[in-house]
Chains A and B, each alone.
Chain A
Amino acid sequence: MDRRIGVYICHCGSNIAGIVDCEQVAEFASSLDSVVIARHYKYMCSDPGQDLIKNDIKTQGINRVVVASCSPRMHEPTFRHACQEAGLNQYLFEMANIREHCSWVHEDREMATEKAKALVSAAVRRVYYHEALETKSAAVNPNVLVVGGGVAGIQAALEIADSGHQVYLVEKAPSIGGHMAMFDKTFPTLDCAACILTPKMTSVGRHPYIQLMAYSEVEEVSGYIGNFKVKIRQKARYIDTEKCTGCGRCIELCPTKVLNEYDAGLGERKAVYIPFPYAVPNKAVIDPVNCRHLAGLTEGKDVCRLCQKGIEKKGVPGCEADAIDFEQQDELVEIEVGNIIVATGFKQFDPSVMYQYGYGRYENVLTGLEFERMSNASGPTDGEIVLKDGRKPESIAILHCIGSRDENYHRYCSRVCCMYSLKYSHLLREKVPEATVYQLYIDMRCAGSGYEEFYERLQEEGVNFVRGRAGEISNIAEKPEEEGKLIVICEDTLIRLKRRLPVDMVILSCALEPCADTEQVARTFSLNQKTDGFFLEKHPKLDPVATMTDGVFIAGCCQSPKDIPDSVAQASAAAARVLSLISKGSVEIEAATAVVDEERCAGCKVCLGLCPYNAISFDEEKKVSSINETLCKGCGACVSACPSGAIIGRHFTDEQITSEIEGVLV
């Protein structure tokens, strides 16, 4: 068919025209083969700019379009749309990037213009061979999977469930609530964390559209946006949750005590436990690592059935609901969902690697989470601030930036530590008013709503702010008043003095880091990690909750450290994205995928293992490979690897690519 190519050179204001002579490039373009129209214009992406293209298609019979402007990542959809609206198939369009690849990276006007000409020539030669392609659409399963039951996961689940769609909420721990459930008061309003979270947790627990799968983990995810198949392992609680009433009898009877992870290791729990009083679901769980009976069973011994049978000799009954079941097995469940929101949260930096701060060596050096539990009324000390020996501390120092802003550990700032340090100061001023409180900071980062005002409040409350990062904690006294104390050694940089601050207790404001299993989770959900280890978002400014894997979203601290308001906002954002997809009902599948020419396929199976998206399967009957168009991302690995040349990459055919190369070289 007669090719009639229209070329449009964009000035992009002065972004391109400042370096590239657009008029000259347009003139050059008009001299190329099959080019019938070549124009240059200030802003091609604007409405009048697009109208130029549309008019030419309608009135001049243009059947191939080249726009030389910015990166396709910016406006390829814009121009493709314009073509489609004018009645020209959107794939008969090609963009030449003469901005990011040319005017923005060169200073020599003459050479940049020559380069722009080469890029345009390449695009013109390529577009000659473009074929019309049709996108396909796939239906979106309205069910949604939310992974992680912290405040972000809870928020996302509720938002979606409230709209009447089914949500599966999977949480690794026996109860939802995440880190927020461990906190005491929250900044800057000093709301009690549990008080504001438990209503949401109970909503989740009884929501008709939320299937809560606590004490469960996602094992495998396959499929594509709108159509995911997910395998979930529901770990054995050894308790029949249908029967368990959460009465706590078994907990009283259990003889085994271990450190309680929900008290940040400060308190103890039994081998059978309910994580905290307001747990959802409020069901017991037996810890198989520490339960003597379960351990004994592996050796064939019947060690202890106190929780189940009670103390028979004394007539003390065991579980009256008969809910204990030592034979229980993990259950594997498979669900189908259309979208997934990953909200797996963070973990606290372990400061024992920073030898100079004495965590783990000295008593009375605590991490932030440990202090939260100490201060929390439902914690191991009933909310009393006490030293290891039971005394009340007379002086406390809070150290900022432990593991954050540090080339040796994490370069990033964890964002919330300045605020929670201020919160700790406030709690200390409230609970031990006679004590001296020091806060050692480098900067005071109080950027949220009401945050700076909170800082002012703490200044009024009489906290001693010392601008200096602690160098070390020493226990070697140099003066009598330092005996028996922990001495914080720092430089008070505002007065340029090295200071020794003798205190009874030190609280380390530790960094927020990615969870320990982040790499594994990333693989399961096809997510990428940034250099700091957190999950990679699609675009840091314009698309913070989407990922490069369509249909999988991230929210909360698993994307980067943030406070509760931001986690909730991101969760709502992810929920909104999901709901918009559900509402649309279908997704458009990009047409630039690979296809196997069955006649040419020799059945060698080389392509099968290459596909990063598991899109290729082998048809045993026909003995040829077959590509699932919806899974295929058009990466081209199989296309280049096929020894028989049987796989064609739509919109990236050999002809198209070689002509493009010729265009640049000639």
Chain B
Amino acid sequence: MEIKKQNDTFMDEIRAMPGGENINLCIQCGTCTASCPNAGVMDHTPSQLIAMARAGMKNEVLSSNAMWHCLSCYLCTVRCPRGIKQTELMHALECLAVRNGLSHGRTLTPAMYRSFNDFVYSLGSLPEFGFMTWFHLLTNPLRALKMIPMALSLLKHKRLSIRARRLTPDGTNQLRAILDKAEAMGDGL
């Protein structure tokens, strides 16, 4: 599938990302919203985001907290009568929001994702304990304290791995070379 770039509008940016190419087809039926478990806590419903995007409201869309509440459960995607991959669109909007420096302040999810990614970049694998600890300390130390009973429970059940799996040195270098190159190329098609 070739994506043709017309002008440098917001719609072009979206349509250049996988999953965003056919949002022109949306008939605003609302099935995606109806299927979404978190639609009730989103600033804008999933179908509303598409309507706003088509109206060129870039700032409002990218500052919305909506896509950060997407669970990637894909119910919207399998039910959409126009075959729009709404979940992928949500991911695309999240990426665009980050790129434009607009990832929402009111939810911790962007911070959580970025924390996760940093760990994966350095180790090649996700160290659950390290990640959870770091994330909670970073965002809400008080909450971190509340997690201690859970951590103890996990420890008791031999489910807590303090040590982290790492890739071999070669593997790590290889992965970094690939990810660095990806970053240099920049997102979008």
What residues make up the interface of A, taking CB atoms closer than 8 Å to B? 356, 401, 405-408, 442-443, 467-472, 489-493, 496-498
Contacts and interface: CB of A to CB of B under 8 A. Distances in A.
Interface string B39-60: 1100011011000000000000
Contacts of A468: 29-30, 33-34
A469 B34 contact: yes
Q: Do most interface residues of chain A lie in helix, strand or loop, or is the interface mixed?
A: loop
A468 B47 CA distance: 11
19 contacts: A405-B27, A407-B83, A442-B29, A443-B27, A467-B30, A468-B30, A469-B29, A470-B31, A471-B30, A491-B34, A491-B39, A491-B45, A492-B30, A493-B29, A493-B30, A493-B33, A493-B47, A496-B45, A498-B39
A405 B27 CA distance: 10
Contacts of B5: none
Contacts of B39: 491, 498
B72 interface: no
A498 B39 CA distance: 7
Contacts of B83: 407-408
Contacts of A356: 79
Interface in B1-49: 27-36, 39-40, 44-45, 47-48
Nearest to B76: A471
Contacts of B79: 356, 408, 471
B96 to A, nearest CB: 21
Nearest to A492: B30
A405 to B, nearest CB: 6
Ranked nearest first, the 7 interchain pairs of A and B with the lowest CB-CB distance are A471-B34, A491-B30, A491-B33, A469-B29, A406-B81, A468-B30, A407-B83
Given A407-B80, A471-B33, 14 more contacts: A401-B81, A442-B29, A468-B30, A468-B33, A469-B81, A470-B34, A471-B31, A471-B75, A492-B30, A493-B30, A496-B45, A497-B45, A498-B34, A498-B36
A490 B79 CA distance: 12
Given A470-B34, A471-B34, A498-B34, A493 B28 contact: yes
Interface in B105-161: none
Contacts of A406: 81
B81 A498 contact: no
Question: Which of A401, A470, A490, A498 neighbours the largest number of chain B CB atoms within 10 Å of its CB?
Answer: A498
Given A471-B33, A471-B34, A472-B35, A408 B81 contact: yes
Contacts of A496: 44-45, 48
A489 B47 CA distance: 15
Contacts of B44: 496
B82 interface: yes
Nearest to B27: A442
Contacts of A471: 30-35, 75, 79
A227 B28 CA distance: 53
A299 B78 CA distance: 50
A471 B78 CA distance: 11
A470 B31 CA distance: 6
Contacts of B82: 407
A472 B32 CA distance: 11
B172 to A, nearest CB: 44
B34 A489 contact: yes
B81 A407 contact: yes
A496 B82 CA distance: 19
Nearest to A411: B81
A561 to B, nearest CB: 17
Nearest to A443: B27
Nearest to B29: A469
Nearest to B48: A496
A356 B79 CA distance: 9
A194 to B, nearest CB: 35
A272 B83 CA distance: 47
B70 to A, nearest CB: 14
Nearest to B38: A498
Contacts of A493: 28-30, 33, 47
Interface string B71-110: 0000100111111000000000000000000000000000
B45 A469 contact: no
A28 B86 CA distance: 59
Contacts of B35: 471-472, 489
Q: Quick one: which of A406, A471, A492 has the most chain B CB within 10 A?
A: A471
Contacts of B28: 442, 493
Contact of A469 (B31, B48, B75, B78): B31
B34 to A, nearest CB: 3
Contacts of A443: 27
Nearest to B78: A408
Contact of B30 (A405, A407, A469, A472): A469
A489 B82 CA distance: 19
A401 B81 CA distance: 10
A406 B83 CA distance: 8
A490 B45 CA distance: 12
A442 B34 CA distance: 13
A492 B33 CA distance: 9
Contacts of B80: 407
Nearest to A354: B79
Nearest to B37: A498
Contacts of A491: 30-34, 39, 45, 47
Contacts of A401: 29, 81
Given A406-B81, A491-B45, A498 B27 contact: no
Contacts of A442: 27-29
A439 to B, nearest CB: 14
B50 to A, nearest CB: 11
A487 to B, nearest CB: 11
A468 B78 CA distance: 17
Q: Which of A356, A407, A469, A490 counts the most B-chain CB atoms under 10 A from its CB?
A: A469
Contacts of A492: 30
A472 B34 contact: yes
- Most chain A CB inside 10 Å of its own CB: which residue of B28, B29, B33, B83: B29
Contacts of A489: 34-35
B81 to A, nearest CB: 4
A260 B82 CA distance: 36
B78 to A, nearest CB: 8
Nearest to A468: B30
Nearest to B82: A407
Contacts of A470: 31, 34
A160 B42 CA distance: 63
**Which of B35, B47, B82 is most buried by chain A, counting CB atoms within 10 A of its CB?**
B35
B140 to A, nearest CB: 29
A474 B75 CA distance: 14
A497 B48 CA distance: 10
Contacts of B48: 496
A443 B28 CA distance: 10
Contacts of B75: 471
B87 to A, nearest CB: 15
